[in-house]
Structure 1
Amino acid sequence: MKFFFGIEHEVAFLNKEGKFADFTHTKFADFEQIIERLPTYPNDYPQLRVGDAGIKKKRWYIEGFERFANSEKPIDCLPKGIEIRTTIHSNIEDTITELSASFRLLCEIAADFGFSPVLTSFNPYKTLFEPQLPLNDYEIRRRQASPEKQTAHIPMLTYGPDLNISVSDLSIERLIDIGRKLTYYSPYIVPFSYSSPFYNGGLWDGLSVRTFVRTGKRPAALIFVEKQEQLIKSIPSLTKIARIPTEVGRIEFKACDSCDDFSIYAALLALLKGLILDETLLGRSTTPDAALHQLSAKEGFDNEVILTNTTKVLEASEVALGDDPDVNLLTPLKVLLATRKTKSHELIEGFQRVGSIEEALRQTYYLKHEA
């Protein structure tokens, strides 16, 4: 069984005035000047998808809400941040090395335009995204195309990774079973990543606004299939048609918050790999349990049900990995579980110490950067 890995990581920014750079006062052109200065790697294609609007031409692209004329022609994109995506790698370490290098390059060029990266997984000030110009007929029709397009306003407020794994020689039935398994155990996986304790300009009563608002309406995991007849009908989707050949058979775990410590991503990829290999955990679900995700988002490891099941999931993954060297990548998760602390706890403490969301956010990537 051969594994392949990739990560898509969304980056939020403060602008040169020190304000959170979201769609309310950031234009597409503000981020586009950064993207223009970043390199293109011709060998990345065809494994990276360029997409309808041609925005996704590089390893970095502007993440946002695309607007269309009354046709397929895109006319604008309201930005929320910049996404970094890695190429496909046969091991976790190379995936993280590439992500780190791409992140460093992004930071250097963004700094020239007054933007500094900050870690959050939910917009700390906005509770709602509504396009200022109402959707036209074409856009309304386009949004009916899938359950995800119908909830496309939610990702404009959230930041999170796609943790991608492909496995050679698995049947579609087996892939879908893995998707259902990861969906079932998602509430116990995601607390390792929690980093969204701010809401509407203040502290939220919990650890992950992103999980609370998103998971249930949006997928926890997606499986990319080749043919229409392999799709399973569900809301939100568990399956999706692959848009390029390299997507066929991809398992995409979408429920985590963003991490500024990329060793956590390495650990999460190792955890998912172990869960794919594991045959002892029998829970399955086609759609995420919204209530359980909300409990997890509010209480994290302080909740005994979450703590017990997360421990079980981590142990099962570790046993399944056996003597695979990737088992060593799980260490940061063991530390988080032992301390029952998440990144959100750090952000909350930072906010209570400095009294400002922006200053608390500056303590994320910024300090690692300076170091």
Structure 2
Amino acid sequence: MFFFGIEHEVAFLNLDGKFADFSCTKFTDFQKIVDKLPLYPDDYPQLRVGDANIRQKRWYIEGFERFANSEEVIDCIGKGIEIRTTINSSIQGAIDELNTSFNLLRQVAAEFGFLPVLVSFNPYTSVFAPNPPLNDFEIKQLQAYPDEQTAHIYMVSYGPDLNISVADLPMEKVIDIGKKFTYYSPYIIPFTYSSPFFNGSLWEGLSVRTFIRTGKRPATLVFVEKQEQLIESVPSLTKVARIPAEVGRIEFKSCDSCDDFSIYAGLLALLKGLALDQTLEGRGITPDPNLHQISAKFGLDNEAIFDHATKILSAAENALKNDPDIKFLTPLKDILVTKKTKSHQLIDHFKNVNSIEETLKQTYI
């Protein structure tokens, strides 16, 4: 039996129509929104709260936590608000919950002058420098966890975690599926590209997020039960589960954000199909930066990327066979036919209006 969950990061324009990132938005600005959203006590213990208690709800501020010269959290520099679903036994359940949570967030955010916009990479800056500079405790903390040394990337990038797990699957098989997702990542993610802006203008490709983050951040993260099950790698493929509900979870982390949640449904069905598939032999502990950068620049217009994307979609479809979830693959098949992603739409609109903000306002419609 499969289980599914989605974590979706939301960026905003503020009341002045400016992109609301860490340069002009405080933690308290976003926290006002989160405070007005409902708390569902039955969500726990399947959702992690964390030491700083920022993750109390299905919505929380995604950002960079600052510490005193101790384990005391004294601030969080926000980049937006993350929505996370509970663990669902169906893809449709996860999508329905995400839709409900997003619509609630949009309504409450509007009360404070914030408009959700689709962004997968900060369109104005590629630089995040903590101010004040990191203290000794923070430096030591980051040095202990290699993936945490890439705050300068995750504070300017936005993307989903697509979570999938299989009941009672041996951990070695779970890790093997994680390796499979990592290997085929450059051919999965072109369906989602939505980050064509860089430093205030058009970038030269379709996903600057993928181009910059891959190789430094994980493509897939597998949560294991015990320390001895970890595979040593940079970026990490494995991580010890922080709560029991995380054990056996596979997080696919490579995609750009989507404002059409049916694409998330398609990707979860694709991942399910790839988990069931017995024909594809590729495995990788870390993502291939070169392949991801080719994919990021050219997407499905690159012949090799297109051919492999076609191959894995076909393999997933064959593996799902009579599974009703096969219907969720339809949006991906449509994208494969047109080779057009959200980035193509954003690029075309920007060329007409010559404004990133006006272009972003056309998302989540």
TM-score by shorter chain over 0.5:
yes
> Which amino acid letter does the alignment assign opposite residue 14 of structure 2?
N
2: distance between equivalents of 1:3 and 1:178?
13
Query: Corresponding residue for 2:315?
Result: 316
State the Cα deviation string for residues 236-282 of structure 1 (Å, max 9, x = none).
00000000000000010000000000000000000000000001000
Query: Corresponding residue for 2:125?
Result: 126
1: distance between equivalents of 2:138 and 2:360?
35
Would you say the 8 A contact 2:128–2:151 is kept in 1?
Answer: no
**Matched residue pairs, number?**
365
- After superposition, residues 177-326 of structure 1 pair within 5 angstroms as 177-326=176-325
Displacement after TM superposition at 1:146 (Å):
1.6
Displacement after TM superposition at 1:153 (Å):
2.1
Secondary structure, counterpart of 1:153 in structure 2: helix
Query: Corresponding residue for 1:109?
Result: 108
Displacement after TM superposition at 1:52 (Å):
1.5
Secondary structure, counterpart of 1:63 in structure 2: strand
Would you say the 8 A contact 2:26–2:78 is kept in 1?
Answer: yes
Query: Corresponding residue for 2:35?
Result: 36
> Which amino acid letter does the alignment assign opposite residue 342 of structure 2?
K
Range moving further from structure 2, 142-151 or 223-232 = 142-151
1: distance between equivalents of 2:127 and 2:312?
34
Q: Deviation above 3 Å: which 4+ runs of structure 1?
A: none
> Which amino acid letter does the alignment assign opposite residue 315 of structure 2?
A
State the Cα deviation string for residues 114-163 of structure 1 (Å, max 9, x = none).
00000010000001111121100000011012221111221100000000
Displacement after TM superposition at 1:292 (Å):
0.5
> Which amino acid letter does the alignment assign opposite residue 310 of structure 2?
T
State the Cα deviation string for residues 60-84 of structure 1 (Å, max 9, x = none).
0000011000011111111100000
1: distance between equivalents of 2:260 and 2:79?
21
Query: Corresponding residue for 1:164?
Result: 163
Secondary structure, counterpart of 1:5 in structure 2: strand
Would you say the 8 A contact 2:117–2:360 is kept in 1?
Answer: yes
Instruction: Tell me how large the CA RMSD over aligned residues is.
Output: 0.5
> Which amino acid letter does the alignment assign opposite residue 289 of structure 2?
A
**Gapped runs of 5+ residues in structure 2?**
none
2: distance between equivalents of 1:143 and 1:273?
34
2: distance between equivalents of 1:50 and 1:164?
17
Query: Corresponding residue for 2:24?
Result: 25
Query: Corresponding residue for 2:336?
Result: 337
Range moving further from structure 2, 145-154 or 273-282 = 145-154
Query: Corresponding residue for 1:62?
Result: 61
2: distance between equivalents of 1:349 and 1:357?
11
Query: Corresponding residue for 1:142?
Result: 141
> Which amino acid letter does the alignment assign opposite residue 59 of structure 1?
R
2: distance between equivalents of 1:257 and 1:58?
23
2: distance between equivalents of 1:132 and 1:47?
34
**Gapped runs of 5+ residues in structure 1?**
none
Range moving further from structure 2, 126-135 or 191-200 = 126-135
Range moving further from structure 2, 290-299 or 164-173 = 164-173
Secondary structure, counterpart of 1:237 in structure 2: coil
- After superposition, residues 324-363 of structure 1 pair within 5 angstroms as 324-363=323-362
State the Cα deviation string for residues 207-262 of structure 1 (Å, max 9, x = none).
00000001111000000001000000000000000000000000100000000000
Instruction: Determine what percentage of the aligned residue pairs are the same residue.
Output: 70
> Which amino acid letter does the alignment assign opposite residue 67 of structure 1?
R
